[in-house]
Amino acid sequence: MKIFKDRVAVVTGGASGLGRAMALRFAREGMKIVLADIEKDPLRKAEKEFEESGYPVLAVRTDVSKGSDVKALADKAFQTFGGVHVLCNNAGVAPGGTVWEQSEKDWEWTLGVNVWGVIHGIRTFVPRMLEQNVEGHVVNTASVAGLLSPPGMAMYCVSKHSVVTLTECLHHDLIEFGAKIRASVLCPAFVPTGISDSERNRPDALRDEKVKSKTDLQREEQLRHAVKSGRISAEQVADLVFQAIGTDKFYILPHQKIKPAIEIRMQDILLERDPTNTLNRKPGP
C-alpha cells in the first residue's frame, strides 16, 4: 500500500496503548481515523485529542466480541468517510493462570475478544474493502505469545496462536483471490501499555467469582512489571506497523531478541522433542 493521504484507517482498541499509537501514526500521514474501543471515557478523550490536533476522526464504542457491534462500526465508518483502507484488529485482553484452573467464563471472555474480535473484523470489513478495488491492508495484533507456549499463559497463547494462523490463512486467501489488499500479523513482546490491567474491561456477565490464589496474584504482578519495563514503546511499534503496511511485510516482530526462543520452539517441533520452557532457559555460552 503506497497511498495514505485521505485514506481511512479503522483501529480497534484505539483509545489507548498500541491502538492509539497506531491511529496517531496513521493520522500524521494524512489518514482519516476511526477509533473503536469498549472504554467510553478513554475513547472520548482520545477523540477530543485527535480533533484538537486537526485530525479527521470518528469514535465508536465497540465490543469487538459482538458481531453486531463490529457491523455497526463498519457501517458508521463507511457512512462517515466513504470507505476503509486500513483495518487494525488490535483490541485484546491478557489473562493468565494455570490451564486447568480457568473457568468457562475466562475462556469465553478471552476468546471472545482476542479471537472472535479478529474474526468479526475480517468477516465484516474485508468483503467491503475488496469491493472498493483499491489498495488496502489488514493488520491483526497477535503477540510473541502466538509463537511461543510458556507456562501460566494458556488462554492468552491459544488466542494469539489463533490470530497468527488466521492471519497467515488470510494472507494466502487474498493472494489466491488476486486482491489488492494485503495482511500483516503483529507479534510484539512486552510494550508499556495497559494490557496487564485488561480485567477493567471484563463484562459483568463474564466475571468470575473465584478467589485468586497467591500464585495468581504473583503472576499478575509479574506481568504488570514486565509490561511496564518494556523497552520498546507503543510509538516505536506503530512506526514498524506503518513501515510494514508500506512494504507489504507480513510478520512484524518488534522485539528481535525474542527470535532465539521462537527458533527453539520450531526446533522442538521439527526434532519431535519435549517443549522447552524458554522463559526459564539459561543463555548459552
Check if the beta carbon of residue 154 is closer than 8 Å to that of residue 102: yes
Beta strands of the chain (E only): which ranges? 8-12, 32-37, 57-61, 86-89, 136-141, 181-186, 251-252
Active site residue 156: yes
Look at the block and give the residue holding cell 484538537. 52
Helix axes 17-28, 234-247, angle to 10 degrees: 50
Q: Which of 123, 146, 28 is nearest to 66 (CA)?
A: 123
Q: How far is CA 265 from the centre of its chain?
A: 22
Could you tell me if 153 and 106 are in contact, meaning their C-beta atoms sit under 8 angstroms apart?
A: no
Q: Which residue has the cell 508499556?
A: 192
Catalytic residue, chosen from 26, 50, 109, 156, is: 156
Backbone angles phi, psi at 85, to 5 degrees: -120, -25
Residue type, 50: F
- Helix/strand/coil for 210: coil
> Which residues form the catalytic set?
156
